[in-house]
Structures are given as structure tokens and as C-alpha cells.
Amino acid sequence: MSLFQNIVIILVLIAGAGFLSLTEIALAGARKVKLKILAESGDDRAQKVLNLQENSADFFAASQIGLNAVAILGGILGEGAFRPYFMSFVSRFYTGPWSETISFALSFTLVTSLFILFADLMPKRLAMIAPEKISIAVINPIQVFIKVCKPLAWIINALANLLFRLFKVNTTRDDNITFDDISAVMDAGAQAGVLQKQEHHFIENVFELEERNVPSSMTTRENVVYFTLNESEASIRQKLAEYPYSKFLVCSENIDDVIGYVDAKDILVRILNNQSLLQLNESTIRNVLTIPDTLTLSELLDRFRSTKEKFAVVINEYALVVGVITLSDIMITVMGDWVTPIEAEQQIIKRDNNSWLIDGSTPIEDMKHALAIDEMPDEENYETLAGFMMYRLRKIPRPADTVEYAGFKFEVVDVDHFKIDQLLVTRLLEETLQPATQTVEE
């Protein structure tokens, strides 16, 4: 054959190998979620791609048969076509015993470079750009190619399956989507600008409902405002005016003797009707939902939905009231700063780029978001920043006690009756950064 004919055949082989490389990466990289959307919109080719992904053994066997056959044939033809011309070129400068070897090396390098560039590298990079679009475009011709290679592909697959069984290799593809997968998609969407920052934050918080326990979002025991059965009318009016709550616990004598709760609007109706508030009775006291402090926020949402309630009392294993929580508290956890109530606005105060004043009762998840910390050590042992300090110090903290972790210094600023009121959190500079430590001033 002439040089022109050899070049045409090599170009055809390169095109065939490039097509197979393009198809292989596109079909492997096409995302099922997008393909299912296309299939549901009526594109039969998307469903064919999904079916091929479910049973990909025949395709990969046929693809490898084609790629290897083309590469070998291209090498044989290329070496025979270009070697005489390189021999003639080399003989102008060198006529020694190595001229044959040099000519072979040059022809081999040329053909190999052409295949690498046009049949491997460029097609695969193109396939990674839009795998779903390309896989749909090539699915029909590739199915014809698979049928042509079916007999030989069956033999190769049988041998491969035998080897997999001998080495006990599980070839079943795991298509289960985990939270990490969804989180990665959300991060990619945020970086691409598809998701706005606040939307990404909301979605992330929704998933955290499965991990965050009720105490991380409740109103703690010491902050619960309640009425007793013998509460005076003046005291009731004062609490209604002073605290912007819509629901108040009703207790017998102390907070652990819960009877129920009253809705502020019911009391307001009594006031408007000039009725006495000297005695809270069955007409105003409602049954209250009681939940354990081990529930997650997601479980509490289910409980609210099943009971049609929006207010619950949280008790611990000793049947002591540890706080109250409402549906609004859960929504605040999801929405974050957008709906933060007035009394919680000062939990985290950013002083500058490297320091924060943080309330000791701040939930760990909120603190992690504010400081951009991925995880805290042994998080299952505490719910708040104060709990973190007590866990790391192994004692009741006092002012000036510090803990260093994740490039931050946590210093106790104010303690009130053993309760950590406020901490100063400072970002450590790189030159002062040390492994996680804690220091205690005795």
C-alpha cells in the first residue's frame, strides 16, 4: 500500500479508538440522577444508557476488544508505513548499525503519540465535560458494536467472572446515596453558583436535624418561664408583659411538677372579657407533650406532626425537666440567623476576624458553623460550648481556664454559680499554633 493509503487507514483506526474511549468514559461517568430525569421526560436513549450501566460487563469487554485490536493494528501498520521514510531521513545523518533501531523508535513514537493524543487523551477529556449528553448520543451505535463483539465478549466475561469468584471479589455496584454524597453535590452547587449561600446553609441544617438532639435547640431549664397554680394575677400579668412567649408551663409548685401549659392568647381573651386570672383552671390549662432529652430534632418533628402539638417539655432520665422546646425552635435551627430570636442574637458576637465572644449555652453545631470547624472531639458527650469546656478540662471551669483546639483558643471569661456564661474564642496565629491542649489556673 502507498503512504497515503496507510495514513488513511491509521486515521480511521485513530477515529475508531477515539470513539470507543469517548464512549467508555461517557457511559461510566454519566450520572444516574440526570439520566433518570431525561428518561422521565421521554428520552428513550437515556433509559438505554441506564440499562447499559446496570449490565455493563458486555460493553466493557467489547470496548477493550476494540481498543486493543485497533491499537495493535495501528502499531503494525504505522511501523511498516513510516519506518522506510524515517530510515531514509536518518541515513542522511547516520549510516551506522543503529539506523534501523532509530528508524523503528521514531516510527513507534509517532504512531503511539498520535493514538495517545487523538484516540485516548482528548476523547476522554471531552467525555468528562458532558458525560450524560455524549452517552445519550452514542448509545445506539455502541449497542450495535456490542452485538458484533458479543461472542468474544462472552468468553472474556466468563473468564473474568471465574477469576473474580476465585479471589472472592464482589462486583455488585453500590448505588446507595449517602449524606456525604448529597453534601458533596450541595458544595459543588454552591461553588458553581447554582445554590445561594443561604440556600446551601438551609439544606445543610435540614440534614443536621437527624444528628442534633433536642437539648441543642431547647430553652434550658433556668430560662423557662412558668406559672404555678397559686400564681397571683399581678405576677401573671407581669410575666406576660415581660416575656415575649406564646406558651407558658403551668406547674404545681416547682418546675418539675408539670401540670400542663397555657397559651398566652387564652389568657388575653380572659383579660379582654374581664375574667379573673387568680386561678388557672381546666378551661385554660392544656395537656403538654412530654419527651425524653435523647430524641433527635427529626424525631421530634415526627412527634409534633403525629400529635398536632407545637410545644413540648423535655425531661431527662431522672424525670427532671431540663427545658422546653417548640416547633419555632426547630425552624430557627434550620433557618439560622434569618429568624434568630432577640434573646439569642447575642450568643455569638464577632469582635473581629480572629476573635468571638460566645455564650456558654451556645449549641456546638452553631459554634462550629460560626468558626467553620468541621468536627469537635467526642461530640456525643456534650451539647453546648460550656459542655465542651467541662469535658476537656475535666472539672468545673473557672475564669481564665483555657482550651486550645483546631487552631482556636477557648478562654472562660465569666462564670456564674458554676455556669459558664461567656467565653472568648481567639484564632491562634500560625506561629503560635500548637496541638490541642488545655491549661488551668488554680
Looking only at Cα atoms, what is the longest distance across the chain?
Answer: 120
CA distance 359 to 222: 15
DSSP state of 343: G
Query: Rounded to an integer, what is the distance from CA 410 to the centroid of its chain?
Result: 27
E strand or H helix at 325, and its extent? strand 321-326
The bridge status of strand 285-286 relative to strand 289-292 is: unpaired
| Domain boundary assignment for the chain | 1-165, 209-333, 346-425
For residue 223, give the H/E element and its range: none
Please give the class, per CATH, of domain 209-333.
Answer: alpha beta
Question: Considering the chain, what is the average pLDDT of its residues?
Answer: 84
Q: Fold for 346-425, please state it.
A: 3.30.465
Amino acid at 253: E
Least confident of 104-108, 221-225, 427-431, 436-440: 436-440
Query: C-alpha grid cell for residue 87?
Result: 530510515
Q: Which residues contact 401 (CB under 8 A, 6 or more apart)?
A: 389, 393, 411, 412, 438, 439, 440, 441
Question: What backbone phi and psi angles, to 5 degrees, belong to 194?
Answer: -70, -40
pTM of the predicted structure, to 2 decimals:
0.56
Estimate the share of the chain in helix, then strand, then coil, as percent rounded to the nearest 5.
Answer: 55, 15, 25
User: Whole-angstrom distance between the N-terminal and C-terminal Cα of the chain?
Assistant: 94
Secondary structure (DSSP) of 55-84: T-HHHHHHHHHHHHHHHHHHHHHHHHHHHH
Q: Which of 183, 199, 257 is nearest to 227 (CA)?
A: 257
* Dihedral angle, C-alpha 273, 277, 283, 286, nearest 10 °: 120
d(CA 130, CA 393): 53
Share of the chain above pLDDT 70, in %: 86
Rounded to the nearest angstrom, the gap between the alpha carbon of residue 219 and the centroid of all alpha carbons in its chain is 28
Band the pLDDT of 442: cuts 50, 70, 90. Answer: very low
Torsion of CA 123, 125, 126, 129, to 10 degrees: 160
**421 touches 414 (CB < 8 A):** yes
Q: In this predicted structure, what is the pLDDT of residue 257?
A: 92
* Residue 306 Ramachandran class (φ > 0 left, ψ -120 to 50 alpha, else beta): alpha
- pLDDT, one tens digit per residue, over 4-51 is 888 888 899 999 999 999 999 999 889 888 899 889 888 899 999 999
pLDDT band at 143 (very low <50, low <70, confident <90, very high): very high
CA pair distance 207, 202, nearest whole angstrom: 9
Nearest residue to 72 via CA among 115, 110, 101: 115
- Structure confidence at residue 284 (pLDDT): 77
Asked if 206 contacts 183 with a C-beta cutoff of 8 angstroms, the reply is no
The whole-number pLDDT of residue 56 equals 84
Question: Exposed/middle/buried for 264, CB within 10 Å: 0-12, 13-18, 19+?
Answer: middle
Residues 6+ apart with CB under 8 A from 194: none
Per the CB < 8 A criterion, the answer to whether 111 and 79 are in contact is yes
**Strand-pair category, 355-359 with 348-352:** antiparallel
Of residues 56 and 358, more confidently modeled: 358
For residue 433, give every residue at least 6 positions away whose Cβ sits within 8 Å of its Cβ, in sequence order, or none. 407
pLDDT tens by residue, 261-315: 998 888 888 777 777 665 666 667 889 999 999 999 999 999 999 999 999 999 9
pLDDT digits (tens, 9 = 90+) for 368-396: 888 988 889 988 888 889 999 999 999 98
CA distance 216 to 298: 12
d(CA 419, CA 440): 17
- Asked whether residue 192 carries a pLDDT value surpassing 90, the answer given is no
Computed from CA positions of residues 185, 191, 196, 200, in that sequence, does the dihedral angle turn out positive or negative? positive
Residue 379 contacts residue 392 (beta carbons within 8 Å): no
DSSP character for 144? H
Cell numbers representing residue 286 in the block: 392544656
> Could you give the CA distance from residue 213 to residue 193 in angstroms, rounded to a whole number?
32
Helical (H) or strand (E) element with 438: strand 437-439
Cβ atoms 54, 154 nearer than 8 A: no
